[in-house]
Amino acid sequence: MKSKTKKVIKSLFILLLIVIMFIVSFFTSYTLSNNKIKTKEIKEDAISTESKENKFKKINGITNILLLGTDERSSNVTTRTDTMIILTIDSVNNKIKLTSLFRDALVNIPNHSKGKLNHSYAYGGVDLLEKTIEENYNLTIDKYALVNFNDFVKIIDLLGGVEVEIKEAELKDFNKHLKDIPNSSKEITSPGIKTLTGAQALSYTRIRYNSGGEQGRTERQRKVISSMANKMKHISIFKYPAILNSVIKYIDTNLSFKDILNILYTANKINFNEIETLSIPFEELSKCGKYKNYGWVFRTDLELTSEILNNYIFKDIPINLSNINKRNLIFIE
């Protein structure tokens, strides 16, 4: 029984860190924050290796959690979210889904004019951002979790680094981003399998240009997450409370610790090794480029996008855009 309990606890902690790493690894801001974001207080004694499986409760139905990454530097600075991901826990179809929302998507911001999606956070914080997402994409957001990517570096260093393969084409951009990180590690001068420090891992996840663009960047993020998860599997379960405490105190969320455990317990039952990923807007339903006074934006057919996204998240209908005719699309103006 003890062996089974430890297995469940280990899976839960790996899951929590994976969720957090998804937030920070998608973060693409170019300046490290000097301050921690505001957090909800979670008592240290709430985290214990003595947890039993029957203390956790499976979540029924479909739950959408908005994962956010921000470049907030102080409580007096208005910021925007660089990372917006909807984590869907689907216990109906036994699936976990991650839907990335492009920050430059042109949307209707409630009680404001049109603007980029991430502007809504600057105008009204998480509440307005949630409302903007819900009204433009016809989705319900149940909970949120916000983190500063500063912790990406701390978590990786706490784990002793992560192992990934650096390609020749990635070296220049990798070292360029590394210079932007204060107190960062030494540059890497040759390709191959490397054990990256926290700063190096952050630089690696920022690589975008000349190395596969946005698709290549998200692939590198998945590699870091996979490497982190594999490393966690070999760490003693007794180190998990310290690791979790060092991570969770930097999160601003309306999830209680009990909520988190229930979510992770449900996700663990689903099988977290098979995560479906998606990006919105769909390329097939969008135009991108400079538009009016909005700057560079993605203009999409919001009604059709909402219909397809809802069918995917709530009805688990596979996405098929092969028959889309752009001439029939109605782009947001």
pLDDT above 70 covers a percentage of the chain that reads 63
Q: Report the pLDDT value the prediction gives residue 89, as an integer from 0 to 100.
A: 85
User: What is the SS3 assignment for 260?
Assistant: helix
Which residue shows structure tokens 């470049």?
71
At the fourth CATH level, the homologous superfamily of domain 2-157+235-328 is LCP protein (3.40.630.190)
At the fourth CATH level, the homologous superfamily of domain 160-232 is LCP protein (3.40.630.190)
Q: Report the pLDDT value the prediction gives residue 316, as an integer from 0 to 100.
A: 93
What are the pLDDT digits (tens) for 192-208? 999 999 889 888 877 87
| Domain chopping of the chain, boundaries | 2-157+235-328, 160-232
Those residues whose C-beta lies under 8 Å from the C-beta of residue 306, and which sit 6 or more positions away, are 136, 137, 138, 139
pLDDT above 90 covers a percentage of the chain that reads 27
Q: Report the pLDDT value the prediction gives residue 120, as an integer from 0 to 100.
A: 94
Q: Report the pLDDT value the prediction gives residue 255, as an integer from 0 to 100.
A: 81
Q: Which of 154-163, 266-275, 300-309 has the lowest mean pLDDT?
A: 266-275
Cβ atoms within 10 Å, residue 38: 12
Q: Report the pLDDT value the prediction gives residue 1, as an integer from 0 to 100.
A: 45
Phi then psi dihedrals of residue 51, to 5 deg: -60, 140
What are the pLDDT digits (tens) for 84-120? 888 888 888 888 888 888 888 999 999 999 999 989 9
Q: Which of 47-61, 103-117, 164-178 has the lowest mean pLDDT?
A: 47-61
